[in-house]
Structure 1
Amino acid sequence: MEHVVRLEQVSSQLLAVVRRRAGVRELSKIVPEACGIVWNVVRAQRVAGAGRHVAVYLDDQINLEVGVEVSTPFAGHGEVIGSATPPGLTATTTHYGPYQRLHEAHEAIRQWCASNGYRPAGPNWEMYGHWKDEWNNDPTQIVTDVFYLLVADGSSS
């Protein structure tokens, strides 16, 4: 799949999350489990405005925050805490297809940055489209937006 990478200035998005650390091979288990934990708390707390699931990769050691978008600051409940995506200039692409191929979107953004003189600033995140039952039969329709925060001045490396 070809990924079209674009520059976007994004605002911070409020989140309710749990913090985790994972190895690459553990992500396919940890991210869905963490999403479930957060969603159960958000539902039990009757948090209004809950949106898509999100995984924020804080560093190369795969320290991450996994949770859901919320419309107001989340005060916290147990291990679920309030957080937010970072605001700023991002390189982003939309990935259509199974989660097992999300690495292709990340690689496309990294290559685009290198080719266009932009430097990732550290955090990157995935925002997963709302699940649709038909995706069980056709995983090529799964939608995930991938964002990489860029250095503040947008200068080349």
Structure 2
Amino acid sequence: MDYVVRVEQLSSHPLAVVRRRAAGHELSKVVPDACGVVWSALRAQQVAGAGRHVAIYLDDQINLEVGVELDAPFAGYGEVVGSVTPGGLVATTTHYGSYGRLNEAHDAIHLWCGSNGHRLTGPRWEVYGHWQDEWNNDPTKIHTDIFHLLVADERAG
């Protein structure tokens, strides 16, 4: 797949999340399970304004926050806590297709940044499009936005 990578300035966005640590091969189970925990807490608290699912990879050890976008900060409920997406300068692209191939979009961002003098720093995250029933029949329509935080106002050498 050809990826169009672009640089954007983003503001932080409120989230409700659970914190997890996972091995790479566990992500296909850990992320959906964590999303379910968050949705259950939001329903129990009757929180309005819940949006798309988000997974923030905090480091290369795969410590992550998994949850849901919100319209306002979340005070917490059980293991579900309030958080925010990182704010700042990012490299971003959109992946169309299977979640199992999201690594291709991350790799494209790494390559693009290396070729265009941008340095990656800190977390990276995925924002999953709202599920559409048609995706069951055509997984190429599944879309996920990928973001990598960049070193602000600095160009690699």
- Specify if TM > 0.5: yes
User: How far did residue 154 of structure 1 move?
Assistant: 3.3
Name the SS for the 1:76 alignment partner: coil
Name the SS for the 1:110 alignment partner: helix
Name the SS for the 1:50 alignment partner: coil
- Which residue does 1:134 correspond to in 2? 134
Moved more, 42-51 or 103-112: 42-51
**Kept after mapping to 2: 8 A contact 1:89/1:154:** no
- Name the TM-score, length of structure 2 as normaliser: 0.98
Deviations 1:62-104 (A, max 9, x none): 0000000011110000000000011100000000001001000
- Which residue does 1:42 correspond to in 2? 42
**Kept after mapping to 2: 8 A contact 1:18/1:67:** yes
**Kept after mapping to 2: 8 A contact 1:125/1:148:** yes
Taking the TM superposition and a 5 Å limit, the aligned residue runs for 1:1-157 are 1-157=1-157
Deviations 1:16-53 (A, max 9, x none): 00000000000000000001110111122111110000
Name the SS for the 1:151 alignment partner: strand
Q: Note the residue ranges of structure 2 that are not aligned, 5 or more in a row.
A: none
Deviations 1:107-130 (A, max 9, x none): 000000111111111100000000
Taking only aligned residues, the RMSD between alpha carbons, in angstroms, comes to 0.8
Determine the C-alpha separation between the residues in 2 that align with 1:128 and 1:88: 20
Name the SS for the 1:119 alignment partner: strand
Moved more, 11-20 or 36-45: 36-45
Aligned length: 157
Deviations 1:104-156 (A, max 9, x none): 00000000011111111110000000001110111000010000000122321
Q: Note the residue ranges of structure 1 that are not aligned, 5 or more in a row.
A: none
The answer to which structure has the higher strand fraction is 2
Name the SS for the 1:37 alignment partner: helix
**Kept after mapping to 2: 8 A contact 1:5/1:112:** yes
Name the SS for the 2:154 alignment partner: coil
Name the SS for the 2:4 alignment partner: coil
- Name the TM-score, length of structure 1 as normaliser: 0.98
Name the SS for the 2:149 alignment partner: strand
Determine the C-alpha separation between the residues in 2 that align with 1:18 and 1:99: 20
**Kept after mapping to 2: 8 A contact 1:50/1:71:** yes
